[in-house]
Amino acid sequence: MSANSTASRPGTGHKHADPLAAHDFSPADIPSQEGKTIVITGGDGGLGKQSARVLAAAGASVIIACRNLERAKAALDEISSVASGAKPSLAHLNLGDLSSVRACAEEIAEHTDSIDVLINNAGLMAVPYKETDDGFESQIGVNHLGHFALTGLLLPRLLSASSSRVVTVSSIMHHQGKLDVDDLNFKRRKYLRINAYVQSKVANMLFAAELARRAEAVDVPLTSVAVHPGAAATDLFDPIVPTMGLRRMVRQIIALTAASVEEGAHSTLYAATMPDVRNNDFLGPTEFGGVKGPVSRCHRSRDADDRDLARALWEKSVELTGVDFAELNK
């Protein structure tokens, strides 16, 4: 029976309400990751670096794919200091430039024959309007299209593993989002930075679900999971706040009310490592409106569960990136 059979993971494409095996999950529950190769985008800070630290400590060979190489090298030293297996490595990745995405995929492919887990973690939040090198609105370009392309380009390596996972980091804020497939780049609509952010998080949800369905349709051993971290105390909220004084105040409030970075990474770590994860799961905290709490199976918004919208976004993403996931088109 393949890892993608409906018997082993019932309910693909539907909301999961049944409990996880490790209700009060912590990194101590993670089984040994020795022999596994794990790629994490944005592993140089915040939730990505925390996930990389824990996975390296569990024995995984971790590759952090990052844009800022100076910051990434400092993070790599920190991750290396706790690694119990292979030495972590760095690949350059600018998700806002498809040529960089292709170069990164080629670099990773040169150094490993297979990838056990790809964690699509990097992202922008509520930034002023800007276009990527390829002319996409930056948040849909980085948060969705860059990761869509990277996943497709690394798919041969993912399918070379005996059983692989793609973990895509979304947000509990996707519940406030609407996605317009015909105006992803806000050429027709008025640009509001938070609207563009939540649209990109709906796109993350739809991509994870459609990847799960397509992998299952051709019976390949790939599991696609979406996660959200709750409201974790990282610097991702800074672009919303206009002045440094206000940012300090907001950071203090977040530190008191939100999950820590360590806790915020729990849903990603669960999705990447735990044996009871199912294809098309959506994992994250559910307490206090999803702000924090133990990792659980979560409900997704109606738009994020729309199969027609997911197919339309997939087709548009293939058109815009030129990455067609040929291995799933059998």
**Spatial contact of 189 and 183, defined as CB atoms under 8 Å apart:** yes
Q: Residue 171 gets which letter from DSSP?
A: -
- Two tokens, residue 170: 């979304």
- State whether residue 183 is helix, strand or coil: helix
Catalytic residues: 197
Q: Confirm if 292 and 259 have CB atoms less than 8 A apart.
A: yes
Contact between 138 and 124 (Cβ < 8 Å): yes
CB of 296 closer than 8 Å to CB of 40: no
Q: How far apart are CA 271 and CA 302, in angstroms?
A: 22
Residues 6+ apart with CB under 8 A from 304: 174, 177, 202, 205, 206, 209
Q: Is there a contact between 233 and 258 (Cβ–Cβ < 8 Å)?
A: yes
Inter-residue contact 296 to 79 (CB < 8 Å): no
Query: Would you say 132 and 138 are in contact if contact means Cβ atoms under 8 Å apart?
Result: yes
Contact assessment for residue 81 and residue 270, using Cβ atoms and an 8 Å cutoff:
no
